[in-house]
Amino acid sequence: MRKSHFNYIICGGGASGLLLAFRICNDPFFKNKSILLIEKEYEKLNDRTWCFWESKEGDLEEIIHKSWNQSFFASKDFHLDFNLSPYKYKMIRSLDFYKFIQQHFRKFNQLTQVKDEVIKIESNKVTTLVSEYSTDFIFSSILDPKKLLQQKKYPVLQQHFIGQIIETKNNCFEPDRIEFMNFDIPQKGNTRFMYILPLSKNKALLEYTLFSEDLLARQEYVDEITIFAKNLPTGGFEVIEEEQGNIPMTCFRFDLSNTENILHIGTAGGWTKPSTGYTFQRINSKTKVLVEFLKRNRPLKQFGRKNRFWFYDLLFLDVLHKDNANGADLFKRMFQKNSPEVIFKFLDEKSNYWQEFKIMRSFNVGQFVKALFRRIF
């Protein structure tokens, strides 16, 4: 078995592993460091889209597939059209992202990519199916679902969905207006919404999304998309692409598995926003912060301590887990009583205490007080 040593080993070549490798290699501080990226499947397809809001142009601007300035929120008895300013809602298609990253990787002499499967991670060693590597620091985006499912302290919901890009005969979409969350559909005892991203006047991504414990059979998602699309003035439509996803929503303490030289990243590191399932932009920002953190040569377990927003998310998930049909009302109250700009700032964890107090006051306080007492006692 061949042995090699690298300063940094990144296990997993998803968004978090690729962005971390990109940012380390792109920083002159690390020009003499060796980096190994291990991923078992490098043949990446256009298998997903990542969306996020951003108030300025970022360093991934050249691969933004589409952006929007207007948005729409709906529940059964409340509709809101709003301008996203100062934000824009942006989409990146995964194939564009993979190509962008690999183009840059070809310029980095300090980076080695290996197609292999990680089978064991130890303090300073990574073992794969065919090799063994020693290292100074390990970053792993490999999620072990058993850690989540075998514990009861923190509820685990799933943000699960199927999305279909449809092409219509009629021009029935507003190209600059997304439907951010449309809860005006049958909830069936869960939190369910449609999410619509127009790509042109006659093409859009329609995504049927749930926040719930259990997944559906594939056909249930597809049927709901079809029902929704048939209520639009499409003149007929065809499905040209499909994607699906399943993202854990939990406040489980992933960070407690970190050590002085092992850091879990991405969803496996708790980088997904627990209350919404949004992940990509948090990965984007956290990898930037992590690169600066590495320059200070501190133990990895000191990175990314929990903050007050973790506690807000914990109570929100406790409420939603106890009454899974309550999500539409929770989000409706938030959009009824707060400006979209403050809501997005809050979800970005950049709000101030007064803004957070006003958002908390939007909800049925009794539900959250009960959740708080269950946590304390």
Express each pLDDT in 262-277 by its tens digit.
999 999 999 999 999 9
- Half-sphere exposure of residue 297: CA atoms within 13 angstroms, side-chain side: 4
Name the strand (E) or helix (H) holding 349: none
Cα angle vertex 249, ends 244, 255, to 5°? 120
In order of 24, 313, 346, the CA distances from 308 in angstroms are 29, 9, 11
pLDDT of residue 168: 98
Return all residues near 196 (Cβ < 8 A) that are at least 6 apart.
Answer: 173, 178, 179, 182, 204, 205, 206, 207
Tell whether 64 is covered by a domain.
Answer: no
pLDDT of residue 169: 98
Q: Report the domain count for the chain.
A: 3
Q: Where are the beta strands (DSSP E) in 169-236?
A: 177-182, 191-200, 203-212
pLDDT of residue 304: 85
Tell whether 55 is covered by a domain.
Answer: no
Tell whether 53 is covered by a domain.
Answer: no
User: pTM here?
Assistant: 0.95
Within this chain, do residues 281 and 331 fall inside the same structural domain, yes or no?
A: no
Cα angle vertex 289, ends 285, 290, to 5°? 115
Within this chain, do residues 228 and 344 fall inside the same structural domain, yes or no?
A: no
* Spatial separation of the C-alpha atoms in residues 49 and 64, rounded to whole Å: 11
pLDDT of residue 251: 97
pLDDT of residue 3: 59
* Spatial separation of the C-alpha atoms in residues 269 and 305, rounded to whole Å: 11
pLDDT of residue 352: 97
* Structure-token pair, residue 292: 């600066």
Domain extent at residue 371: 308-376
Beta-sheet pairing, 88-93 with 49-54: antiparallel
Are 367 and 319 in contact by the 8 Å Cβ rule? The answer is yes
pLDDT, one tens digit for every residue, the chain (377 residues): 455 999 999 999 999 999 999 999 999 999 999 999 999 987 677 788 999 999 999 999 999 999 999 999 999 999 999 999 999 999 999 999 999 999 999 999 999 999 999 999 999 999 999 999 999 999 999 999 988 989 999 999 999 999 999 999 999 999 999 999 999 999 999 999 999 999 999 999 999 999 999 999 999 999 999 999 999 999 999 999 999 999 999 999 999 999 999 999 999 999 999 999 999 999 999 999 999 999 999 999 999 888 999 999 999 999 999 999 999 999 999 999 999 999 999 999 999 999 999 999 999 989 999 999 999 87
In order of 9, 12, 95, the CA distances from 42 in angstroms are 16, 10, 12
DSSP label at residue 58:
-
Within this chain, do residues 366 and 319 fall inside the same structural domain, yes or no?
A: yes
pLDDT of residue 32: 95
Tell me the H-state helices in the chain: 15-25, 94-105, 145-149, 218-230, 280-294, 308-322, 327-337, 340-347, 353-362, 365-376
pLDDT of residue 1: 47
- For residue 111, what are the β-bridge partners? 35
Q: In 3D, which of 331, 166, 338 has the Cα closest to residue 243? A: 166
Secondary structure class of 137 (helix, strand, coil): strand
Within this chain, do residues 243 and 213 fall inside the same structural domain, yes or no?
A: yes
CATH of the domain at 165: 3.30.9.10
Tell whether 58 is covered by a domain.
Answer: no
CATH of the domain at 106: 3.50.50.60
State the burial class of residue 121 (Cβ atoms within 10 Å of its Cβ: 0-12, 13-18, 19+). Answer: middle
* Spatial separation of the C-alpha atoms in residues 169 and 96, rounded to whole Å: 27
Tell whether 33 is covered by a domain.
Answer: yes
Return all residues near 327 (Cβ < 8 A) that are at least 6 apart.
Answer: 183, 190, 191, 211, 320
Within this chain, do residues 206 and 245 fall inside the same structural domain, yes or no?
A: yes
* Structure-token pair, residue 6: 């690298």
Within this chain, do residues 312 and 222 fall inside the same structural domain, yes or no?
A: no
Q: How many residues does the chain have?
A: 377
